[in-house]
Structures are given as C-alpha cells and as structure tokens.
Structure 1
Amino acid sequence: MGIFMLKEILNKIFWHPDYKREDFEVVILHRGAEENKKAISLDDVELKGNYLIYFDTYIPLHRILEIRNKKTGEILYKKK
C-alpha cells in the first residue's frame, strides 16, 4: 500500500459519515519514543496534503506505521 491508499483510508475516516475520527488512531515512527513508535488519536490531528498536523507538528504520511480502530482493535493499514 502506498501513500495513495493511505490517503484514501484517512479521507474516509475524516469525511465519511459512518466513521468517527475519535474511534481511530495512527501509530507513527517517532524517534526517541519507546520502540520508536507513538500512537496519536485522529481526533487530535488535521489532514493537510501529505501531512498530519498534530498541534504545531507536521507529520509526513510516510511516517505512519499503522491505522487502527481503538474500540475494535481492527487494523485498517499497516506499513510493510
């Protein structure tokens, strides 16, 4: 799955009426964090171009390792 598929999944979560952003989180590559990973609720970010904006930090989409549903544990995207 490339950036196109990743953006398609994120757009669906952000804009489709059947999905709620607060139900999902992304796991990103975050050097220095435990296991170099950090989970962020999609309720706390904006999607702008090829970036997630988390407060004042721009996170490139290629740093997303996983997108998962917090309630069900379902993984919608996992980087190889």
Structure 2
Amino acid sequence: MVSIRELLNKLRWDPSSSLSDYMIVITHRGSVNGFKSIPGSLIKELGKHFFTYEEDGKLVVIPYHRVKEVKNLRLGVTVFKRG
C-alpha cells in the first residue's frame, strides 16, 4: 500500500498529474461533520510527517494521519481512502 505522503508527492511531481485536480479530505474537529476538504492546489509543502496549505493568509500544518480521503475531481473517483 502506498503511503499518503508517497501519493501526494507523485501527484505533485508526476508530469501526467496535477494536485489541482484533487481534493484532500481531513479529519477536522472544528467542522460540523468532523471533516474538511482542502483543494490540492492550496498545498505548499509535503514534509516527512505532514503537509502544509495556506488558508486566510496563514500556513496550516496537517499531519498525514488526519488525511481520510483523496479524490480526483476531474475523473470523479476516490484514489485514497482510510478506513
């Protein structure tokens, strides 16, 4: 099984794909349903244990273990889903 970090790196650097075609769904305690969707185009850095994205002018750090799903918006398919 490919790790979420490996998948996001592939989507970012593979010339045949683009992170902007994807939506990353994370666990988010502050939301009504417990999840938040982050457009792949907002991702700034893919670290060893986390990724960062920009929201309202601030850099937000998300540990990979909070990623629940990665969806390809262009094709309408889920490419990663955590139990």
Aligned partner of 1:58 in structure 2 is: 61
For the residues of structure 2 that align with 1:27 and 1:57, how far apart are their CA atoms?
14
Q: Which has the higher helix share?
A: 1
Aligned partner of 2:38 in structure 1 is: 40
Alignment of structure 1 residues 1-80 onto 2, 5 Å: 1=1, 5-46=3-44, 47-55=46-54, 56-80=59-83
Secondary structure of the corresponding residue to residue 12 of structure 1: helix
Counterpart residue identity of residue 67, structure 1: V
Quote how far apart the aligned CAs of 1:28 are: 0.4
For the residues of structure 2 that align with 1:50 and 1:67, how far apart are their CA atoms?
17
Unaligned regions of 5+ residues in structure 2, if any?
Answer: none
Could you say what the CA RMSD is over the residues aligned between the two structures, in angstroms? 1.3
> Under a length normalisation based on structure 2, what TM-score does the superposition of the two structures give?
0.85
Q: Give every structure 1 segment of 4 or more consecutive aligned residues whose post-TM-superposition deviation is greater than 6 Å.
A: none
Counterpart residue identity of residue 60, structure 1: P
Quote how far apart the aligned CAs of 1:19 are: 0.2
Unaligned regions of 5+ residues in structure 1, if any?
Answer: none
Quote how far apart the aligned CAs of 1:34 are: 2.5
Identity %: 32
* Bigger Cα displacement from structure 2, 16-25 vs 49-58: 49-58
Q: Which has the higher strand share?
A: 2
Counterpart residue identity of residue 14, structure 2: H
